[in-house]
């Protein structure tokens, strides 16, 4: 049965989409069957993986609002073993439309429950807000993975997110837990980065992964080629970091790291 992980942080530009796409690719390279659910109306995960406009007309919006089954909305990707439920522009209206839909907080959970058996991991890329789309992801998820950019206000935003997770756990989804926090766009030459990292580790301890994702230009170039960075430049520091993150997550899940089997 798939472990469902919501990649969430209400702040934009912290590396949610980048982490979803590249962690998913690294998990697939370790032999896992992975599904990405693109819950962001901006559709960056879908475009970054080169999903065509035609395929994007069957996606998260149709699942949430029209009750389309997830397996009918799936597209394959360039990565063997990795599929995506894409998003398109209609999804930006879903936040409002969901308000008057039955079971509005449970729509994604109900859809995911029917395909859980076919995947090892389902990663949900959340929009940069704590509205009904992110709520659907948190209700569907077993755990939340938080990408955190090491900057001055990082901890403040994090405590807001933690309170939201707590509230969802007490109300809508008792099994929800914190998967972990991953520091993104990290720059070891920047003192502030190191200070914030030490602070975050001081507050959250083991919840923060040992692996940090370095700021790396290859990571930001890859989406414009419609590829995850692992397919664009397997050897760059960003690719290697996402492989390490996948191993760390797998090690924590079952004490056994998979071996990446993908050629560049
Ligand atoms: P979010 O989904 O949280 O809004 P993104 O994943 O889209 O954030 O990242 C924001 C921007 O930062 C994007 O342009 C992305 O390419 C870039 N970026 C993300 N991670 C890295 C990294 N490790 N190195 C360099 N650029 C990065
Ligand atoms: Mg994003």
- CATH value at residue 175: 3.40.50.300
pLDDT confidence of residue 3: 97
Task: Work out which ligand 1 atom sits closest to the CA atom of 9.
Answer: 3
Residue 223 is assigned to a structural domain of this protein: yes
Residue 264 is assigned to a structural domain of this protein: no
Residue 79 is assigned to a structural domain of this protein: yes
* 10-residue mean pLDDT series, the chain (264 residues): 97 97 98 98 96 93 96 96 95 94 96 97 96 97 96 86 95 96 95 92 94 98 97 98 98 65 46
Q: What's the CA-to-centroid distance between 178 and ligand 2, angstroms?
A: 19
Q: What's the CA-to-centroid distance between 229 and ligand 2, angstroms?
A: 16
Residue ranges lining ligand 1, Cβ < 6 Å: 12-18, 44, 128, 184-185, 213, 215-216, 219-220, 238
pLDDT confidence of residue 257: 44
Residue 129 is assigned to a structural domain of this protein: yes
Total number of domains constituting the chain: 1
Residue 188 is assigned to a structural domain of this protein: yes
What is the residue range of 207's domain? Answer: 3-254
Task: Work out which ligand 1 atom sits closest to the CA atom of 186.
Answer: 23
Residue 259 is assigned to a structural domain of this protein: no
Q: What's the CA-to-centroid distance between 126 and ligand 2, angstroms?
A: 7
Residue nearest ligand 1's atom 5 by CA: 15
Q: What interhelical angle do 237-254 and 16-29 show, nearest 10?
A: 70
Task: Work out which ligand 1 atom sits closest to the CA atom of 213.
Answer: 23
Q: Could you report how far apart the first and last alpha carbons of the chain are, in Å?
A: 29
pLDDT confidence of residue 154: 83
Whole-Å CA distances, 217 to 81, 126, 130, 162, 184: 26, 23, 29, 30, 13
pLDDT confidence of residue 37: 98
Q: How many CB atoms lie within 10 A of CB 44?
A: 19
Whole-Å CA distances, 232 to 11, 101, 152, 224, 258: 27, 41, 32, 10, 21
Residue 69 is assigned to a structural domain of this protein: yes
pLDDT confidence of residue 258: 47
pLDDT confidence of residue 255: 60
Q: What's the CA-to-centroid distance between 135 and ligand 2, angstroms?
A: 16
Task: Work out which ligand 1 atom sits closest to the CA atom of 11.
Answer: 3
């Amino acid at each position: 049965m798939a472990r469902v992980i919501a990649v969430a942080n209400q702040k934009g530009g912290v590396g949610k989409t980048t982490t979803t796409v590249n962690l998913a690719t690294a998990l697939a390279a370790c032999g896992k069957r992975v599904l990405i659910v693109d819950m962001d109306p901006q559709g960056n995960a879908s475009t970054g993986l080169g999903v065509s406009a035609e395929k994007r007309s069957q996606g998260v919006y149709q699942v949430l609002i029209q009750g389309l089954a997830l397996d009918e909305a799936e597209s394959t990707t360039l990565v063997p073993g990795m599929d995506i439920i894409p998003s398109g522009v209609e999804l930006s209206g879903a936040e409002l439309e969901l308000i008057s839909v039955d079971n509005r907080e449970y729509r994604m959970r109900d859809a995911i429950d029917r395909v859980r058996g076919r995947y090892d991991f389902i990663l949900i890329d959340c929009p940069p807000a704590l509205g009904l789309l992110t709520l659907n992801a948190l209700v569907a998820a077993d755990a939340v993975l938080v990408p955190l950019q090491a900057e001055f206000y990082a901890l403040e935003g994090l405590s807001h997110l933690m309170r939201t997770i707590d509230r969802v756990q007490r109300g809508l989804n008792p099994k929800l837990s914190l998967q972990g926090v991953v520091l993104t766009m990290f720059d070891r030459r920047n003192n502030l980065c190191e200070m914030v990292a030490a602070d975050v580790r001081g507050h959250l301890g083991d919840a923060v992964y040992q692996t940090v994702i370095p700021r790396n230009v290859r990571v930001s170039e890859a989406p414009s080629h419609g590829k995850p960075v692992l397919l664009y430049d397997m050897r760059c520091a960003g690719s290697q970091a996402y492989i390490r993150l996948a191993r760390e997550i797998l090690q924590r899940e079952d004490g056994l790291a998979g071996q990446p089997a993908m050629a560049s």
